[in-house]
Amino acid sequence: MADIAHPQIVQGREYGTISQARWWRGHLQGSEYAWALAFCIPYVAVFFAFVVYPVAFGIWMGSDAALYPRLFDDPIYWQTVVNTALFLGIAINVKLFLALLLSGFFMRRGWWVKALLMVFVLPWAVPALPTYISIHWMLNGEWGLINNLLWHVLGINGPDWLTTRWLALTSVMVSHVWKWLPFWTVILLAGRMAIPTDIQEAARVDGATGFRMFVHVNFPLIANLYFICTLLSTIFSLGDFNVVTFVSGGGPADSTHVLATLGIRYAFDLAQPRLGVAAVITALPLLIPLVIMLMRKFKTSQVQL
């Protein structure tokens, strides 16, 4: 004789099934639930196709432990690690510091300031590829614009900008700062404009003007924004290969590569895609803490502006 389930057990199972259905459906019923699925499924498919799959495939390609001894034995890799650290440590901080100063300048009143801001934003607005290629030819040691100006105006021979490691790396960093400085200036300018005017007026009544106003009032109010911009800029720049590829090309003698361009060199120039992925994966110990700090900063309730 078959066992008869206890009525309470049956009711518990039915309640669990109903609870799961409510969890999936929420308050949507019938056609509303069908339309919700119709709108969500394409986005989920795109997310898995262009985010989950590439990341998982890349991690799988770099999962072979034998790749990393080969990578660490390459002197160019360690040179690249130094270049990446210098690029992030110097270019990012110089760029954000200048953006902070210029955001204060563009807070001035007057139509000419607004017109100047519009011109100032143009380097960021134009595409990166023609910009960096133009800079590359401007820095050419023989017929570049800068060396020709030095010869015709001052009568001196300009340096070979792209044929020595440190000059080429400096040129890369200056190009990066010049390209992205307008963007971060506008972000910090928006942060400054969001500061309540009554706070500034009260500070002026108390005698805070000029530098004291900046140190004791303005900067503390946008300090969190400045820190978030620094984290974002570091994350973006860690994966940016455009400036090195098109300004120095990684030269001379592969001495100005960063991790992003070194991965491209291994994958395409040397036809070792797994080693290229492994080179990029070595940036994860830096990238993951930055992303965690960024997410924690977004979650905190005390973030200002």
CA–CA–CA angle 200, 203, 208 (5° rounding) = 115
Q: Which two tokens stand for residue 158?
A: 């300009």
Is it the case that residue 23 has pLDDT exceeding 70? no
Nearest to 95 by CA among 173, 191, 193: 173
Contact 160, 182 (CB under 8 A): no
Residue position matching structure tokens 């009525």: 7
What pLDDT is recorded for position 164?
A: 92
Q: Counting Cβ atoms within 10 Å, is residue 9 exposed (0-12), middle (13-18) or buried (19+)?
A: exposed
Name the phi and psi angles at 3, rounded to 5.
-75, 140
Nearest to 86 by CA among 256, 292, 246: 256
Range with the poorest average pLDDT among 88-97, 180-189, 282-291 = 282-291
How far apart (Å, rounded) are the C-alpha atoms in residues 117 and 182? Answer: 9
71-299 belongs to which CATH class?
A: mainly alpha
How far apart (Å, rounded) are the C-alpha atoms in residues 175 and 145? Answer: 15
What pLDDT is recorded for position 10?
A: 45
Q: Which residues contact 233 (CB under 8 A, 6 or more apart)?
A: 92, 95, 96, 180, 184
How far apart (Å, rounded) are the C-alpha atoms in residues 297 and 58? Answer: 28
CA–CA–CA angle 73, 87, 267 (5° rounding) = 45
pLDDT tens-digit readout, 146-176: 989 888 888 888 888 999 999 999 999 999 9
| Rg of the chain taking only CA atoms, in angstroms | 27
Residue ranges of the domains in the chain?
7-59, 71-299
Please compute the mean of the pLDDT values over residues 79-108 and round it to a whole number.
94
pLDDT tens-digit readout, 254-269: 999 999 999 999 999 9
What pLDDT is recorded for position 215?
A: 81
Q: Which residues contact 79 (CB under 8 A, 6 or more apart)?
A: 254, 255, 257
Nearest to 82 by CA among 254, 289, 303, 275: 254
